[in-house]
Amino acid sequence: MKTSEFLHRACPMCGATDAREEVHSRRRAEGITLESLRPYWSGLFKEKLFFSYHRCAACGLLYNPVFFGPGQLADLYSDMAPNMDLVPSAAIAATQRGYFQAAARRGGLAGGYLEVGPDIGHIVSAAAAQGAFDHFWLFEPNRAIHDPLRAATGGRPATLSADMDDFSAVPDGSVGLAVMVHVLDHLLDPRATLAQIRAKLRPGGTLMIVTHDESSLLRRLMGERWPPFCLQHPELYNPATIRSLLTRTGFGAIAVERSRNHFPIDFLARQTAWSIGLKVDRVPLPSVSIGLRLGNMLTLASASPQAAERVTRRLESVR
Ligand SMILES: [Zn+2]
């Protein structure tokens, strides 16, 4: 077994090292080499293969104690195809508009808009149309989609960057809404990113996060076949652990809800038929979109001045 080329790490939420293995693939990713993992990262092989997930004995976070290091990750992501190509874009747009409406219900759609991993900007265009944001700060690693992303802002002042780790160009205390959709559970150091975003939010500003929910019914039904158990997720959250992470990084007024993914009925029917070996291309099906709760959760949190003060006091007390 060769594990030395991978990163060995403590819990990314609390720093503890005592953790119990909870789920693993038949062959464990940490048991094979980086080079032989490449085709699995790109999804070329059907065999399910991922780094073993352990549950932290101290804070309850489900994470990979062995995972790709930062350099390996940058290399792997550089030749990865864009997300969710299989799902028709109208369905993705409907799903993401639903996310924006959830954030909009908190109000305060002004100041700066910051999004990490906005893809082609479905939420950005909703924010540009419905909000009064004065600047869009968009951190999207895929430069090939920067043009459509800029267009999604509808001509509002915008700064696009391919760097997902450095938000220093954004003025502190200026952002009214920050958004991360299927980003947080890809990060090696989620605390560092959240702390940076916390500093950028203005008082009362909102952070919206969409992640998978490892305590969902779907996860329990599917076991280790649950799709989010994969090489791209160094940790996975549930409502309790994401609350804890946000509290530890200076957020308050935290609300977690199960979110809906929209799929056209014809797409779902074809996928189902395809998975059981039927060919239904010729069958006319209604192209109506329906919302399903598929084991995702939407988390809203605020930059409460009290929470920030608590974190500052804690930081000062360790100096
Ligand atoms: Zn922990």
pLDDT at 89: 74
Alpha carbon of 53 to ligand 1 centroid (Å): 13
Alpha carbon of 182 to ligand 1 centroid (Å): 21
pTM, 2 dp:
0.84
Domain residue spans in the chain?
A: 7-78, 89-317
Alpha carbon of 219 to ligand 1 centroid (Å): 21
pLDDT at 281: 47
pLDDT at 108: 84
- Lookup: tokens for 59: 């804070």
What CATH number should be reported for the domain whose range is 89-317? 3.40.50.150
Alpha carbon of 162 to ligand 1 centroid (Å): 30
pLDDT at 318: 47
Segments of 126-174 assigned E as strands: 132-139, 158-161
CB-proximal residues (5 Å) to ion ligand 1: 11, 13-14, 16, 56, 58-59, 61
Which string of DSSP letters, residue by residue, matches 220-283?
HHHGGG-TTSSTT-SEE--HHHHHHHHHHTT-EEEEEEE--EEEEHHHHHHHHHHHTT---TTS
Q: What is the mean pLDDT of each run of 10 residues along the chain (319 residues)?
A: 78 97 96 92 85 98 97 82 58 83 90 95 94 96 91 96 92 97 94 96 95 91 91 96 96 87 58 54 50 78 70 54
pLDDT at 82: 53
Q: What residues have CB less than 8 Å from 285, skipping those under 6 apart?
A: 265, 266, 269, 270
Alpha-carbon distance of 153 to 118, in angstroms, equals 11
Tokens 């430069």, residue?
143
pLDDT at 142: 87
